Amino acid sequence: MKATVIRAFGDSKVFETAEIAKPELKSGHLLIKVAASSVNTIDMMIRDMGEALPFHPKLPGVLGMDFAGTVEAVGEGVNNFKVGDEVYGCAGGLVELQGSLAEYMLADANLVAHKPSNISMREAAALPLVGITAYEGLVRAGITAGQKVLVHGGAGGVGHVALQLAKHFGTEVFATGAAGEQTDLIAALGATAIDFKTEAVADYVEKYTKGAGFDVIFDSVGGANINNSIEAAKLNGQITTTLSMHEQDLTMVHMKGLSLHVVFMLLPMIYNQGRAAHGKILEALAKIVEAGDLKPVLDSQQFALADAAAAHDRLASGQAIGKVVIDIN
């Protein structure tokens, strides 16, 4: 089968097109004919950092975590899928798991769900990693109808999904972004847009919460921005972040009685523990999509399997609005 492989770690120039062996079916797994994959920041981190990350794939490797496609074959012990089913998931591209930048991939059935019926393969491929991350983060923060929720990075891959899910859960949603295309997208998705470059945290906390702070903050920016989340949170509030590899003074977390949740959604894939939870979240996300409450936003540029390097460069440029998707078959 055709695939895009890397034989070394480094910049996007490491990608090359190759013919590799088609995966062999095994118990508990599905053989998927891949229609589309999407690029996530973690894909670029693995490509760049390689052996510095304990979950890097062996070389030569096939990257790509997210996919949408069609079931080609069903392994022993799998009862909830059949040949021809349209499915989606996040199931490869690290440790020993072959990625989705190939015509076929083998996927643990626990990491897969039936594709939402009302969106395309390309849209479905954009959703798994960011959708699971956003859903898990909001649920762990105890999101409840009627709350005021702030999403940092509301136009990003995870952020634009967290924004829509927060609305689905019945909250009043606010989101930060840069003025222009980002704030336009945030507003189009139904949240109150905040220009983080011109509006100080204290000002928008006063403006939108009368100084009390937000009930739940989903921080998809992380790092030093966690300080802004701490400042914006109400007393005994909840903060979820997707990036906490940062030295942090927790004094104000203590003084405000905050709960800080860190979401690293790759853990079930890396350690083969709790994978079924991802399948159940994907099932829940599919129902939310089919109800019309969630729609992944795709970047305007399109890429084929041979264009993996250009797709990575597009995401790295910071110019993409929505998820960058690669068409496979």
Handedness of CA 197, 203, 207, 209 (dihedral sign): positive
What average pLDDT does range 246-267 have in this prediction?
Answer: 94
Q: Is the pLDDT of residue 52 over 90?
A: no
> What pLDDT, on a 0 to 100 scale, did the predictor assign at position 54?
87
> What pLDDT, on a 0 to 100 scale, did the predictor assign at position 227?
95
Q: Which two tokens stand for residue 53?
A: 């990350």
Q: Is the pLDDT of residue 329 over 90?
A: no
> What pLDDT, on a 0 to 100 scale, did the predictor assign at position 325?
97
What average pLDDT does range 141-169 have in this prediction?
Answer: 97
Average pLDDT over all residues of the chain:
96
Condensed to tens digits (0 to 9), the pLDDT of residues 9-34 reads: 999 899 999 999 999 999 999 999 99
* Structural contact between residues 17 and 3, judged by C-beta atoms closer than 8 angstroms: yes
Q: What angle do CA 304, 158, 109 make, to 5 degrees?
A: 70
Q: Which two tokens stand for residue 233?
A: 């949170």
- Residue holding tokens 């990350």? 53
* Structural contact between residues 295 and 123, judged by C-beta atoms closer than 8 angstroms: yes
Could you report how far apart the first and last alpha carbons of the chain are, in Å? 11
> What pLDDT, on a 0 to 100 scale, did the predictor assign at position 319?
85
> What pLDDT, on a 0 to 100 scale, did the predictor assign at position 110?
98
Q: Which two tokens stand for residue 260?
A: 């800080």
> What pLDDT, on a 0 to 100 scale, did the predictor assign at position 318?
86
Condensed to tens digits (0 to 9), the pLDDT of residues 93-152 reads: 999 999 999 999 999 999 999 999 999 999 999 999 999 999 999 999 999 999 999 999
* Closest to 31 in 3D by CA, of 63, 71, 69: 71
Full set of structural domains in the chain with CATH = 2-127+274-327 (3.90.180.10), 130-262 (3.40.50.720)
The pTM assigned to this predicted structure is: 0.95
State how far the Cα of 31 lies from the Cα of 15, in Å rounded to an integer.
24
> What pLDDT, on a 0 to 100 scale, did the predictor assign at position 244?
87
What average pLDDT does range 246-270 have in this prediction?
Answer: 94
> What pLDDT, on a 0 to 100 scale, did the predictor assign at position 53?
86
C-beta neighbour count of 257 within 10 angstroms: 11
> What pLDDT, on a 0 to 100 scale, did the predictor assign at position 233?
98
Condensed to tens digits (0 to 9), the pLDDT of residues 214-245 reads: 999 999 998 899 999 999 999 999 999 998 88
Among 58-62, 109-113, 244-248, the range with the most confident prediction by mean pLDDT is 109-113
> What pLDDT, on a 0 to 100 scale, did the predictor assign at position 186?
96
State how far the Cα of 104 lies from the Cα of 235, in Å rounded to an integer.
50
User: Which parts of the chain fold into alpha helices (H)?
Assistant: 41-49, 121-125, 128-140, 157-168, 181-188, 201-209, 226-232, 251-255, 267-271, 275-290, 308-316
